[in-house]
Amino acid sequence: MPQRPIGTVTRGTTNPNRLRRMDRWIAAAHGAALRRADSPVAVDLGYGAAPWTAVELLARLRTAAPRTRVVGVEIDPERVAAAQPYAREGLTFRHGGFEVPLAEPPALIRAANVLRQYDEGQVTEVWERLCARLAPGGLLVEGTCDEIGRRHVWVALGPEGPRTVTFAARLGSLERPSDLAERLPKALIHRNVPGEPVHAFLRDFDRAWATAAPYASLGARQRWIAAARSLEADWPLCDGVRRWRQGELTVAWEALRPGGGRA
């Protein structure tokens, strides 16, 4: 008897190019690992009511790793059936959930806008289940973005657990870095309160952004870079100017971990 998929049906909201910032980061951060993999399979978990994000993930990952194959996994069988006309070489769609029903462990699982409807207490269990499905050297990327992909925050995890948190934005639409707080993943969104590390980080980021205001005359990108340089003195940033220029900033998970000592 077939196993019942693990999880619940999401709202399924999706738009073309919604996940471009996350995809761009994955290609840069994980492209080399995908190229080295014997069988580079990436999973778009919970792609939603339309398959745009899976189609786009294949195109973007293949710029970094041409042998990559993408499997769109959805818990709603009607959505899987509706996606079949978009299947092509390197892109398939399958009914399933957090059990990730693939015969071979994937090198990448991307779960975007999937865990928002779950309780915070369920996140660790889901992360552990998904990380256990990864191939050696694999990566899980789980996060949230707005409807058109201007603001996005995600956690990157390896088989051993969470590694980093990335904040990404269309900088021209950003008044201050803490505007990204509403897009924090479920593991962090309820922790944006005084006494929690993520709250302290966003407070310091706003202060650095304010201090960098003179750079605004050179553009929002230069202001973001200047703010990131200031943050480096107190926070363990994991990237540099090359990624900051893309409107990204990545910090070590341990520094933002819920219940951590920073305040």
Could you read off the pLDDT of 186-206 as tens digits, one per residue? Answer: 999 999 999 999 999 999 999
d(CA 42, CA 81): 20
d(CA 70, CA 41): 6
pLDDT band at residue 263, thresholds of 50, 70 and 90?
A: low
Could you read off the pLDDT of 163-176 as tens digits, one per residue? Answer: 999 999 999 999 99
* pLDDT cut 70: percent of the chain above it: 98
Mean pLDDT of the 5-24 span: 88
Other CB atoms within a 10 A radius of the CB of residue 199 amount to 19
State the pLDDT at residue 178: 98
**Would you say residue 231 has pLDDT above 60?**
yes
Cβ-count burial 163-188 (b if 16+ within 10 Å, e if not)? bbbbbbbebeebeebbebbebbbbbb
Count the alpha carbons within 13 Å of 47 in the hemisphere toward its beta carbon.
35
d(CA 104, CA 92): 14
Architecture of the domain delimited by 20-169: 3-Layer(aba) Sandwich (3.40)
State the pLDDT at residue 218: 97
Q: How many residues does the chain have?
A: 263
**Would you say residue 11 has pLDDT above 80?**
no
State the pLDDT at residue 3: 72
Count the alpha carbons within 13 Å of 48 in the hemisphere toward its beta carbon.
21
Burial class (CB in 10 A: 0-12, 13-18, 19+), 207: middle
Predicted TM-score (pTM) of the model is 0.95
Sorted by sequence, the CB contacts under 8 Å of residue 185 that are 6+ apart come out as 115, 123, 142, 143, 144, 153, 154, 155, 165
Could you read off the pLDDT of 112-165 as tens digits, one per residue? Answer: 999 988 999 999 999 999 999 999 999 999 999 999 999 999 999 999 999 999
Can you name the residues that pair with 158 across neighbouring β-strands? Answer: 161
**Would you say residue 262 has pLDDT above 80?**
no
**Would you say residue 221 has pLDDT above 80?**
yes
User: Domain residue spans in the chain?
Assistant: 20-169, 171-235
Quote the DSSP letter at residue 218. G
C-alpha closest to that of 201 among 216, 181, 219: 181
Could you read off the pLDDT of 42-99 as tens digits, one per residue? Answer: 999 999 999 999 999 999 999 999 999 999 999 999 999 999 999 999 999 999 999 9
State the pLDDT at residue 1: 37
Mean pLDDT of the 210-215 span: 98
